[in-house]
Amino acid sequence: MSDVISISRLTKLYRNGRGIKNISLTVEEGDIVGLLGPNGSGKTTIMKCILGLNRFSQGEIKVFGKDLNDNFEEIMREVGALVEAPAIHKDLSAYQNLALRAGIYGGVPQARIERVLDMVHLLQYKKDKAGRFSLGMKQRLGLASAFLTEPKLMILDEPVNGLDIEGVVEVREIIKRMRDEKGASFLISSHMAGEIEKTCNKVAVMYEGELIAFETTENALRLHPSLEDYFLDVVKEKRGEVII
Amino acid sequence: MSGLILGMKNEFYKILHRKKYIVLFAIGALICIGRLGGGMLISKISSGIVDIQTNMPLGMMRLMTDILAPLIIFMAVTDLFASEIQEDTLKTAIMAPITRAKVLVSKAAAVFLLCAAYYIGYYLVCLILQIISGNVNASVMTAAFGAYMLDLMPLIAVIGFAVLINMISKSPSLAMLLCIAVYVIFKYMEYYVSPMGQMLFTSYSQWHKLWMGSLLPFRSMAAKVGILSGSVLILYTISYIIFDRKDI
Ligand SMILES: Nc1ncnc2c1ncn2[C@@H]1O[C@H](COP(=O)(O)OP(=O)(O)OP(=O)(O)O)[C@@H](O)[C@H]1O
Ligand SMILES: [Mg+2]
């Protein structure tokens, strides 16, 4: 299988010295890779680098086999994303927000916009101003925006953040369906091991700006009762190294 | 290229959704009406001896070029840059099949389009008022329209200036404040600090006078075109360098 994302020795340090160091990671076609790590471990930073939001000083990112910086437009045509808080224009309606994003792709059929709104159960609120949405509704709109163009690669930062129980299950199902039916690939972050365990076929553990483990979920679960235990063990091991 | 046009459409769409630009336009139109009313009143009182309004569009031009246009430019550029950074919506424009250079140009172009719409709208309001006042000369009105179109050009530099201020300001209110403060200083210099003030891009807001005078002062014209295009180049280049390195 071909690599959808291949990151090698990526370093991005913010001015305060924090950030990510020497990250190498690959996402293969059809993978749902979960980035697991505590708050501030660098999950969002990796995603922002892949999406051109953060400029990085060292390393290389290839998406669909092509260098990100040299082929940005071509690559982004096939990428959908939700990073941190969903970017929502407050005074536009849910529908207008999606239409605005569709505009940059030269337009998306109206039926498609309504379909993604329906997928996240916002169709009945499509004319409401997005600024007045609840936290979870905004998150749903952010997801709809990521799914809008049926991209081959989706980068979702805490996708189920703020969603209700049914919402969490539905989003998981949508992700799996897109992978199975369309062959889409995913990079998903979460600080909840249980969520990654249920959704992802591979798990990457981030800790203090470093990637300290990268395994298939199957392997990780072979020696551990749950991904949570796996995560705790990996982190403990890492801390042990530092002390010795 | 197509990405640029699609981007510009998007940015223009966002601008049009803010009502303040319509309100500002209405205020400008009201001032014109007030001026016409005043003119007619004076002419009536003096029983036609004093007739102020001979060329409404040109007479009201300074208000547009020196006050309204800069104001809408500062507001629109701040809406599209500093406000979007603060509200975290700029990332939608960046995480899209469009390079940062094109994002920057498409935003600037959308603001220019807004200015063009304002100038044309404002000219039409003045033209209608002129017709109402019953004193129309087709060739004078055509020349006035030409003047409006020519005066759009120097706004490209004003937009670049506002973009640059937005690149270095941490918040929308600071960006707006800086834009206005620096603009006022430049305008002050134009009138009171010569010859330095005359070399600033802000002093060309009514440069149609250069082009449409009875004789064309070629040397000073070439110099001013040079200074203006130089300013445009510098303002946009520096803005782009800062924008391209920013973490959004
Ligand atoms: N714009 C910024 N400027 C300076 N430091 C930053 C910036 N953004 C993130 N950081 C720092 O970089 C580190 C990684 O942050 P990041 O947002 O990638 O973490 P995260 O894994 O996504 O955390 P969370 O689970 O809380 O979302 C943190 O130490 C954070 O303080
Ligand atoms: Mg994060």
Which residues does A180 contact at the CB level (< 8 Å), separation at least 6? none
* Nearest C-alpha neighbor of A4 from the set A67, A65, A57, A55: A65
pLDDT of residue B216: 61
Which residues does B203 contact at the CB level (< 8 Å), separation at least 6? B186, B190, B197
DSSP for residue B65:
I
**Partner B contacted by A153 (CB < 8 A):** no
Per-residue pLDDT tens listing for chain B (248 residues): 588 999 999 999 999 998 899 999 999 889 888 887 777 777 778 776 766 556 778 888 888 888 999 999 999 999 999 999 999 999 999 999 999 999 999 999 999 999 999 999 999 998 888 888 777 788 888 888 888 888 899 999 999 999 999 999 989 999 999 999 999 999 888 888 777 767 778 777 777 777 776 556 677 777 788 888 999 999 999 999 999 999 98
Ligand 1 contact, A21 CB (< 6 A) = no
Report CB contact under 8 Å: B96, A91. Answer: no
Q: Give A59: exposed, middle or buried? Use CB within 10 Å, 0-12, 13-18, 19+.
A: middle
Check: CB of residue A227 under 8 Å from CB of residue A203: yes
Ligand 1 contact, A37 CB (< 6 A) = yes
Whole-Å CA distances, B95 to A10, A61, A75, B128: 19, 15, 10, 45
**Partner B contacted by A105 (CB < 8 A):** yes
Q: For residue A110, give the amino acid letter.
A: Q
**Domain encompassing residue B97:** 2-245
Q: How far is the CA of A41 from the centre of ligand 1 (A)?
A: 7
Using a CB-CB cut-off of 8 Å, the residues of chain A touching B11 are none
Residue appearing with tokens 């918040």: B171
Report which protein residue has its CA nearest ligand 1's atom 7: A14
Phi, psi (deg, nearest 5) at residue A27: -120, 120
- Tell me how many domains chain B contains: 1
- Considering the entire predicted model, what is its pTM? 0.92
Report CB contact under 8 Å: A104, B18. Answer: no
DSSP H helix total and E strand total for chain B:
13, 0
- Measured in whole angstroms, the distance separating CA B117 from the mean position of its chain's CA atoms is 10
CA dihedral for B44, B45, B50, B51, sign (positive or negative): negative
DSSP for residue A89:
-
* Nearest C-alpha neighbor of A26 from the set A51, A6, A49: A6
> What gap in Å lies between CA B223 and CA B213, rounded to an integer?
16
Which residues of chain A form CATH 3.40.50.300? 3-78+152-239
Q: How far is the CA of A65 from the centre of ligand 2 (A)?
A: 26
* Nearest C-alpha neighbor of A48 from the set A29, A20, A74: A20
CATH 3.40.50.300 fits A3-78+152-239, yes or no: yes
A100, A129, A139, A153, best to mutate vs chain B, most B CBs in 10 Å = A100
Using a CB-CB cut-off of 8 Å, the residues of chain B touching A131 are none
Locate all alpha helices (DSSP H) within chain A, ordered by sequence.
43-50, 72-76, 94-103, 110-119, 135-147, 165-182, 193-199, 217-222, 227-243
Q: For residue B227, give the amino acid letter.
A: I
